[in-house]
Structure 1
Amino acid sequence: MPSSFEGLEDNPVRDLPLRDLAGFVHRWVDADGVRLHAVEGGRIDGPAVVLLAGFPQTWWAWRKVMPSLAERFHVIAIDLPGQGHSERPERGYDTHTVAAYVHAAVRALGVSDYWLAAHDVGAWVAFSLALDFEDRLHGVALLDAGIPGITLPEAIPTDPARAWKTWHFAFHLVPELPETLLAGREREYVGWFLRMKALSPDAFDDAEVDHYAAAVAQDGGLRACLAYYRDAAESARANHEALERRRLTVPVLGISSSHGSIPDMAASISPWAENVTGVIVPDAGHFIPDEQPEAVAAALTAFIRDGA
């Protein structure tokens, strides 16, 4: 692999420290006018696997999974627009718009077809990407995600035992109030999600909370995080418009966890797709790649091997 930084001068978020992962390279590409950050490594001659993270994380969420995948695959973890070291555009956070940016970034990296694995908001984007660019995908794995219009419940529960898992969907939609309450308190907010939604409160150390909170606090980061939720109705509308024409035919793997937000991703996705299989990872909460990276790497490897 080349040096650990390529196109560093194109980094749009220079005040946020970069984290290195042995054997991987930081790159920035022009994705149809938006600069996206990618971390690339593994076997360049192997099948390509693209990884997307969700709220409130960055590509770093996949750091424990990437080395295992790199033994067999060409691995590319991408920061979504507004996330990590990617550009934070003013608008365009519905998942079909973002999916087009992600696909453009993959093409800019010289990859024409690939496998896709995504968690949380990353899975929102991945589902829309599969609808729009299915002919370029070999398969898509979706990890514990309340995808708007697809796996997200129609109503937020009022039972406190369940409401804490999805309450923020409504809060993030309120104009201006989240910004007022959260500016300067990003660490407390991000830390609550990481520690409450993981099965073990020790799943994330202070340095990891600091990293993700700093990414959200960087100029435009909080606005971008909220924008995915504020554009969720448009994302759901566009998903259903596409699904009126056809169901997904690309293989889909739903990965749930024993203590996650969506009990059975495969069952939730199956009405919309022809070929769905499922895995439930034990001893994990919402943040499955952080909590059980070996199980996630094994599930993705088997999915790709069986599909190939």
Structure 2
Amino acid sequence: MSVQDRIAPDRPFPPVEGVSHRFVTVRGVRFHVAQAGPAAGDATGPAEAVVLLHGFPQHWYAWRRLMPELARDRRVFAIDLRGCGWSDAPSGGYDSAGLLEDVLGVLDALGLERVRLVGHQSGGWLGFRLCLAAPERFSAFLAVNSAHPWPRRRFGLPLYAWRYWYTALWEYPGVGRRVLRHWPALTRAMLRYWAGRAAGIEESAVQEFARACTAPQRARAGEQLLWQFVLHDIPALAGGRFRDQRLTVPTLVLLGDRDPVVRPQPLVGAQDFTEALTVRVVPGGHLLAEEIPEVVAAVAREHFGRA
């Protein structure tokens, strides 16, 4: 593993005040990391940094409004996952097990032994997998607009699975990459729909995320990310394979009351399987970190403080 700083990106980074960029190479893949906050050697900075994991079809820029809020008193690192943003997009390695190894490797390359974790949407799901696999690496976890692995059985997957209808157009092998590449209007429409009436997702950001998915290798990567979830994670979830796994990392799931995708009903009551998890609902849609970053930052500080 190696760390490389100040490498010229394939295309310019959208500017965010106080954010710098670096690349680390892990498992033969070059990962982009956006960072902000006190320098590593600053005595005023906390020992534990915050690591941010984005969802799909976004990248590190999804945290553009939250990073400055959190970086006031701590180091913050936003990782572009494999195939997303400015990270490399190899042909394979997009299953959750591979992504898990990617993130742990990036933490090692950055010299981060133990961190506070925040994940949005599919990045939140990956966060749960990380906390179950390597709990010693995470002191607290905030999952934003994300499902967890212990839904209440009486609600059933089919009752809420229809809310993910759009993934069928992005995930099917050979079809998803073509939709992402040649039909960016769908990506733009979904981002606007997720935010609803909120003004937090400005049009320039919508265009950025949609444009990032149109590059051939990134369209293929997006298809792979979603298809690997269908092949591995959905069967594990439906079969109840996580019910014997106990979450020990203090975790808070933060949901929007107007989120059209992730609804709170099947997620409340996970205490039957872990006492480390709570669910909180606030006003907002599916992109809370962009809609109400000050609220998300306040919730994160409160949760991290308790943890």
Cα distance in 1 for partners of 2:89, 2:249 equals 30
Structure 2: how far apart are the matches of 1:116 and 1:156? 30
The within-5 A match list for 1:181-260 is 181-186=179-184, 188-200=185-197, 202-232=199-229, 233-236=231-234, 243=242, 246-260=245-259
Contact 2:172–2:223, Cα closer than 8 Å, also in 1: no
Residue 94 of structure 1 contacts residue 228 of structure 1 at CA under 8 Å; is this kept in 2?
Answer: yes
2:290 alignment partner, SS class:
helix
Cα drift, residue 133 of structure 1: 1.1
What SS does the corresponding residue of 1:80 show, helix, strand or coil? coil
**Deviations for 1:41-70, whole angstroms, at most 9, x for unmatched residues?**
213331211001111111111111111111
Equivalent-residue separation in structure 2 for 1:280 and 1:224 (angstroms): 32
- Which stretches of structure 1, 4 residues or more, deviate above 6 A after TM superposition? 238-242
Contact 2:176/2:220 (8 A) holds in 1: no
1:270 is displaced (CA, Å) by: 3.9
Q: Secondary structure at the match of 1:262?
A: coil
CA contact (8 A) 2:192 2:206 kept: no
Q: 1:182 to 1:49 in 2, by over 3 A?
A: closer
Q: 1:146 Cα deviation (Å)?
A: 4.0
Q: Which residue of 2 aligns with 1:19?
A: 14
| Identity %, equivalent residues | 28
Matched residue type, 2:245: R
Distance across 1 between alignment mates of 2:67 and 2:180: 32
Q: Which amino acid aligns with 2:24?
A: V
Aligned AA for 1:29? V
CA contact (8 A) 2:150 2:267 kept: no
1:229, 1:150 → 2: CA distance? 20
Change (3 A) 1:254 1:157: closer
Change in CA separation of 1:190 and 1:173 when aligned onto 2, cut-off 3 Å: closer
Partner of 1:29: 24
Deviation at 1:237, TM superposition (A): 5.4
Equivalents in 2 of 1:262, 1:218: separation in Å?
Answer: 28
- Equivalenced residue count is 291
Q: Tell me the distance in 1 between the aligned counterparts of 2:189 and 2:269.
A: 27
* 1:119-134 equivalences in 2 (<5 Å): 119-134=120-135
Tell me if structure 1 keeps the 8 A contact 2:36–2:76: yes
Measured at CA, do residues 124 and 6 of structure 1 come closer, stay the same or move farther in structure 2, by a change above 3 Å?
same
Q: Distance in 2 between matches of 1:180 and 1:306?
A: 46
- Aligned CA distance change for structure 1 residues 272 and 212 (closer, same or farther; 3 Å): farther
Does the 8 Å CA contact 1:144/1:262 hold for their aligned counterparts?
yes
SS of 1:29's equivalent in the other structure is: strand
Note closer, same or farther for the CA distance 1:269–1:126 as it changes in structure 2 (3 Å cut).
Answer: farther
Normalising by structure 1, report the TM-score.
0.85
Query: CA contact under 8 A between 2:176 and 2:219: conserved in structure 1?
Result: no
* TM-score after normalising by structure 2: 0.86
The 1:254–1:25 alpha-carbon spacing in structure 2 relative to 1, beyond 3 Å, is same
Q: 1:268 to 1:176 in 2, by over 3 A?
A: farther
C-alpha separation in 2, matches of 1:18 and 1:210: 14
Once the two structures are TM-superposed, the CA of residue 218 in structure 1 deviates from its matched residue by 2.0
Over residues 27-47 of structure 1, what are the superposed CA-to-partner deviations in whole Å (9 max), with x where a residue is unaligned?
100122221111112133312
1:306 aligned partner, one-letter code: R
Coordinate RMSD, CA, aligned: 2.5
Q: CA deviation at 1:142?
A: 0.9
Q: Is the 8 A contact 1:254 1:277 kept in 2?
A: yes
Are residues 83 and 299 of structure 1, via their aligned partners in 2, closer, same or farther at CA, if it must alter by over 3 Å? same
SS in 1 for 2:289: helix
Structure 2: give runs of 5+ residues left out of the alignment.
none
For 2:293, the equivalent position in structure 1 comes to 293
Q: Distance in 1 between matches of 2:115 and 2:241?
A: 21
Residue of structure 1 equivalent to 2:144: 143
In the alignment, what sits opposite 1:91?
A: 92
Write the distance in 2 (CA, Å) between the matches of 1:246 and 1:205. Answer: 40
AA aligned opposite 2:135: E
1:254, 1:269 within 8 Å by CA — same for their partners in 2? Answer: no
> 1:303 corresponds to which residue?
303
Does residue 41 of structure 2 align to residue 41 of structure 1?
no
